Amino acid sequence: MLIVGNWKAYIESLSKAKRLYAASKRLGQSGKISIVLAPPAPYLGSLASGNRSKVEFAVQDVSATLGGATTGEVTAEAAADAGATYAIIGHSERRAMGDTDAIVLSKVQHALAHGLTPILCIGESVRDEDAAYLTQLRHQVSTVFAALSPKERTQMIIAYEPIWAIGKNASDAITPADLNEMVLYIQKMLGEYLPGKASSKVLILYGGSVEPGNIRALAAGTSIDGFLVGRASSDVTTFGALVKALS
């Protein structure tokens, strides 16, 4: 199981970031759970450089540019150089700020070009009775996968994060039964781009109000490969409880 802690902008001090990293190193020792931490960009280098633990690091986003005169941008190359091995791309909070599927694709391509494993976030804003949300998900996946080589496709991770479930409480998260249906649907979609067993190389994560109280049921009742956790990953005690609930 893979747990990605997306600290978003919840962490605004290096000392707190270091405490979370130290706790994650202890939690990751058992070897059952792989932990990836996604700190705000200014902390990435100080935590990740010289990291010899099992914990790995993700950058929360990468630039669609290749660097140069682009003030404020964090390129995939700089993130990889700072020690990241993963990149969260297409998070709904970035899509809400203007990332289109085409921009998401170019970010994925930059990440892959610099050896970062893209964690491609997909998710619908609402669930309608006509299931138009499935078309939205299909579009988010197909724009990226159709443009990648077969080898690149196997290097992807998908994070299914329904927007209606993000940043709420466990009671608002998806049910295990509904999540399992979505995992099967995503696996089927991936099978269109990666025939045979190749599609099983693409891990599928769930994100949206994952907490110590619901993580075990979501893992046990589905074929999910891991979780992308926001708020609950930004507190040492809660994150510890969350990882232990899965161990």
Catalytic residues: 91, 161
- Cβ-based nearer residue to ligand PGA, 106 or 209: 209
Which range touches ligand PGA (CB under 6 A), out of 15-23, 43-51, 61-69, 226-234?
226-234
Among residues 55, 222, 231, 239, the one that binds ligand PGA under rule CB under 6 A: 231
Residue 2, beta-bridge partner list: 34, 226
Region binding ligand PGA by CB under 6 A among candidate stretches 104-112, 132-140, 176-184, 206-214: 206-214
User: Which of residues 229, 242, 243, 246 is near ligand PGA by CB under 6 A?
Assistant: 229
Q: Distance between CA atoms of 166 and 168, rounded to whole angstroms?
A: 6
Binders in 146-205 for ligand PGA, by CB under 6 A: 161, 166-167
89 binds ligand PGA (CB under 6 A): no
Stretch that binds ligand PGA, among 54-62, 68-76, 177-185, 224-232 (CB under 6 A): 224-232
Q: Does 208 bind ligand PGA (CB under 6 A)?
A: yes
Indicate the residue among 36 and 194 with the shorter CB distance to ligand PGA: 36
Q: Which residue is nearest to ligand PGA (CB)?
A: 230
CA distance linking residue 38 with residue 102, whole number of Å: 23
- H/E segment holding residue 142: helix 132-145
Cβ-based neighbour number of residue 140 at 10 Å:
22
Token pair belonging to 19: 């405490």
Q: Is the CB of 7 or the CB of 43 nearer to ligand PGA?
A: 7
Residue with tokens 């138009």: 132
Structure tokens that stand for 144 in this block: 């990226």
Alpha carbon distance 64, 93 (integer Å): 16
Measured CA to CA in angstroms, residue 93 lies from 7, 68, 163, 233 at distances of 13, 25, 9, 17
Q: Which is nearer to ligand PGA, 6 or 199 (CB)?
A: 6
CA 228 to chain centre: 5
Q: How far is the CB of 157 from ligand PGA (least distance, A)?
A: 13
CB under 8 Å to 200, separation ≥6 — which residues? 187
Q: Applying CB under 6 A, does 209 fall inside the site for ligand PGA?
A: yes
Residues within the interface to ligand PGA (CB under 6 A):
6, 161, 166-167, 207-210, 228-232
